[in-house]
A and B are shown apart, each in its own frame.
Chain A
Amino acid sequence: MSDTTINADATQILGGGDAIIEVDGVDKLFGDFQALTNINMRVGAQEVVVVIGPSGSGKSTLIRCINRLERHDRGRILVDGIELSDDIRNIQEIRRETGMVFQSFNLFPHLTILDNITLAPRQVRNMPKGEAEATAMELLERVKIPEQAQKYPGQLSGGQQQRVAIARSLAMKPKVLLFDEPTSALDPEMIKEVLDTMKDLANEGMTMICVTHEMGFAREVADRVVFMADGQIVEVGTPEHFFDNPQEERTKLFLSQIL
């Protein structure tokens, strides 16, 4: 596939690198309701894939299946060559390799910012306290709020909290970061600081899957845009083609509503 085509195949990594995430024929059911239908997708190293689609189309479900916050019912999911199974060790291993940033931040309110970030490295990777705190301070520098280290989440603005959440997920040195609408719960004036942090990460070569409604971000940062509707992948393409020359009617309709 050349760089300019646009179709419904999300398994083609641009430039043809190795896949870090492979999703093969995945179905997900909630009771009788089919939330995902035959999802096939690959994400290469250092690639940024933006997932868009109307509310309820299964975007969250898809990325939550990748780190087993949801269990998929059919198909295979591989993260860095490890296949997700019911084996808890397997799941833990994959969770260590993937970081996730939530719409509602989900910082731990009873712990300081520093403790929020050092918790997993210390408890999961058995990192010594000093080392974990040094790493945490580096990360806080990176998201530009080192002076907040000793505060509690409740004392920070939404934008600051989300940047802490990003720092927290980076502390485990993940191979992939999953973002689930990281700016949707933010006041408009704080969206930029979070998007800028995400852009920095993308420029540094972090592999990311971002569910977002920020079309400017998608256009600027995404290597590929994936459009989902009704639990299926409808259309995939580079941002230029996706936004300027969509093929599917549903994509056009969605874009006309959101842009």
Chain B
Amino acid sequence: MNNPGTDAAVGGELAQALAADHRPLHSDQTPAEWVKNNLFSSALNSVITVLSAAFAGLVLYFGIQWAVNEEWEIIRSNLRNFMIGQFPKDELWRPWAGGLALVGSVGLGSAGMARNAFDDAIEKGLPTERPTWLGLVRRFWSILAFIVIVLTFTRTILPTLGVLAGLGLFVAGRLIGWSLPVGARRFSPHVILVGLVALSTIIAGSGGLVAIVGGLVAALIVSAAVGDRIDRTAISGKVAALAIPLLGGVIVWFVMSTVDSFGFGWKDWGGLYLTLFVTVAGISTGMPLGILLAIGRRSQLPVIKGFCVLFIEFVRGVPLISLLFFSGFMLPLLFPPSAGIPDGTTRAMIVITLFSAAYIAEIVRGGLQAVPKGQTEAAQAQGLSAGKIQRLIVMPQALRAVIPAMVGQFISLFKDTSLLAIIGVAEFLQIATIANTQQDFLGKGLQPVTYAFVALGYWAFAYTMSKESRRIEVRLGVGTR
């Protein structure tokens, strides 16, 4: 997985792919010839060309007509709702500070990883290119365009300043991350993780969340470190293998009992900010959990296997909506009684995580089946432990095989978060509904405006996700087979 070497011929490969896509005008072809050859080569082709052009023209005409004449005030006066929901006004610095922290750390971490890949390719004598600012803009243009559109709806200059500050932090992070020494750059992925935790902590305004995340991470690290040393055939090893995760669970449970409220805006935030956060949290916690479930499903121990199968099949067998409904009854059973019924945001976070874990587990299982048995045998024959075989040989190959399916899952998870409305979470789509019930806009038939805005927002991010997935595929496909 951590094999930046495969960044290899990214530049070249990508250029080739693009060239194939564009089919540029041949140098010996005049534009007129190109039009004739490609658009009017036959009678049928000419008819299709004319019809398509007419249709595109009509759509464009009415689209612009509509956009110009429509009442956009509803977006302007609800812009903050669309972005962060009912987050308390006095605490608005929290989402800003958290967002800036995340943007800065993403800049730092991503540049560090890009530099690692770049140096690695140079060392191996593979063709490669430095990332450029223009390249970044191309990769993320739909998100950038959406941000610009959002800014045109603002009433004060402050949000624009905030976005500019974010941009500045990102650029600074990129520049610093690129020039850090090798030793420091090794921790690039961790920097991004820290940014995420910082964001959630600032917004939650509570140390309890840090304790939970920290406890989980520590438990994972300890079990990974100890996992390789455990001799599972000895009784002591069997006990240890069971005891460590259990112990981790108990610790987390007690930490949870001390958290009765995440305070501040946790319960009240919503909008696109929440939608994105729930998605990212669902992916980044659902992924390790899903991998563990996939491994567990192949376990020789009937208890572990049974639990994993039961969990995966249950979650996959029922609609997300019903899981969300049930979360109000089921989750309190998992929490210490003192915690009461967790608020909507917490429930949403947990359900989305478990839901994506179950789907990711099945995707990963498919990838695991695609890794030939000979790979494991070759590693066994060299004396590698079972844990290391999974981590270093089987999992990297399995995950790489399922990247497209995985990103597809991420995108549908992103859109599925719109269901969170039914447990009272004011996510992005729900704001559109809320806005249309406000006194100023009730009965004015402005649904198309709000939904168009929301759709554009979803699209901007989903499109980038799917483009990035293709880019990763190209990168990983190079030189591996």
Cα distance A99–B382 in the bound complex, in angstroms: 7
The segment out of A86-94, A195-203, A242-250 that lies at the interface is: A86-94
Is A162 among interface residues, defined by CB-CB distance under 8 A?
A: no
Residue of B nearest to A178 (CB): B381
Cα distance A93–B388 in the bound complex, in angstroms: 16
> Most B CB atoms within 10 A — which of A93, A100, A110?
A110
Residue of A nearest to B124 (CB): A150
| Chain A nearest CB, measured from B415 CB (Å) | 32
Is B215 among interface residues, defined by CB-CB distance under 8 A?
A: no
Question: In the complex the two chains form, is B233's CB within 8 Å of A87's CB?
Answer: yes
Question: In the complex the two chains form, is A151's CB within 8 Å of B479's CB?
Answer: yes
Chain B contributes a number of interface residues (CB within 8 A of A) equal to: 31
Residue of A nearest to B126 (CB): A150
Question: In the complex the two chains form, is B383's CB within 8 Å of A124's CB?
Answer: yes
| Chain B nearest CB, measured from A213 CB (Å) | 20
Is B393 among interface residues, defined by CB-CB distance under 8 A?
A: yes
List A contacts of B388 (CB < 8 A): 123
For B118-155 the 0/1 string (1 means CB < 8 A from A) is 00000111100000000000000000000000000000
Cα distance A165–B379 in the bound complex, in angstroms: 12
Cα distance A56–B385 in the bound complex, in angstroms: 30
Cα distance A93–B124 in the bound complex, in angstroms: 34
Cα distance A111–B385 in the bound complex, in angstroms: 18
List B contacts of A169 (CB < 8 A): 381-382
Question: In the complex the two chains form, is A152's CB within 8 Å of B480's CB?
Answer: yes
Residue among A69, A108, A150, A151 making CB contact with B380, cutoff 8 Å: A69
Cα distance A168–B393 in the bound complex, in angstroms: 15
> Most A CB atoms within 10 A — which of B233, B372, B378?
B378
Cα distance A111–B124 in the bound complex, in angstroms: 12
Cα distance A63–B31 in the bound complex, in angstroms: 68
Residue among A93, A123, A154, A172 making CB contact with B481, cutoff 8 Å: A154
Question: In the complex the two chains form, is A119's CB within 8 Å of B392's CB?
Answer: yes
Residue of A nearest to B382 (CB): A120
Chain A contributes a number of interface residues (CB within 8 A of B) equal to: 35
If the complex has contacts A86-B233, A108-B393, are A95 and B382 also in contact, measured as CB distance less than 8 A? yes
For A75-94 the 0/1 string (1 means CB < 8 A from B) is 00000000000111100110
| Chain A nearest CB, measured from B144 CB (Å) | 33
List A contacts of B383 (CB < 8 A): 92-93, 95-96, 120, 124, 172
Cα distance A95–B381 in the bound complex, in angstroms: 6
Cα distance A123–B383 in the bound complex, in angstroms: 9
Question: In the complex the two chains form, is A110's CB within 8 Å of B231's CB?
Answer: no
Question: In the complex the two chains form, is A69's CB within 8 Å of B377's CB?
Answer: yes
Cα distance A102–B400 in the bound complex, in angstroms: 24
Residue of B nearest to A99 (CB): B381
| Chain B nearest CB, measured from A12 CB (Å) | 28
> Most B CB atoms within 10 A — which of A67, A108, A155?
A108
Cα distance A120–B388 in the bound complex, in angstroms: 10
Residue among B123, B377, B382, B479 making CB contact with A168, cutoff 8 Å: B382
| Chain B nearest CB, measured from A67 CB (Å) | 6
List A contacts of B382 (CB < 8 A): 95, 99, 119-120, 124, 168-169, 172
List B contacts of A86 (CB < 8 A): 233
Question: In the complex the two chains form, is B378's CB within 8 Å of A112's CB?
Answer: no
Is A38 among interface residues, defined by CB-CB distance under 8 A?
A: no
List B contacts of A154 (CB < 8 A): 479-481
B-side residues, CB < 8 A to A, are: 3, 5-6, 123-126, 231-233, 372, 374-375, 377-385, 388, 392-393, 396-397, 400, 479-481
The 9 closest A-B pairs by CB, nearest first: A106-B378, A120-B382, A95-B383, A100-B381, A106-B374, A150-B124, A152-B479, A96-B383, A154-B481
Ordered by A's residue number, 23 sampled pairs between the chains whose C-beta atoms are within 8 Å are A67-B380, A69-B381, A88-B233, A95-B380, A99-B381, A100-B378, A102-B374, A102-B377, A104-B374, A106-B375, A108-B375, A108-B379, A109-B397, A109-B481, A110-B397, A111-B3, A119-B382, A119-B384, A119-B392, A124-B382, A150-B124, A154-B479, A169-B382
A106-B377, A109-B480, A119-B382 known; 7 other A-B pairs, CB under 8 Å? A69-B377, A95-B383, A98-B381, A106-B375, A106-B378, A110-B396, A123-B384
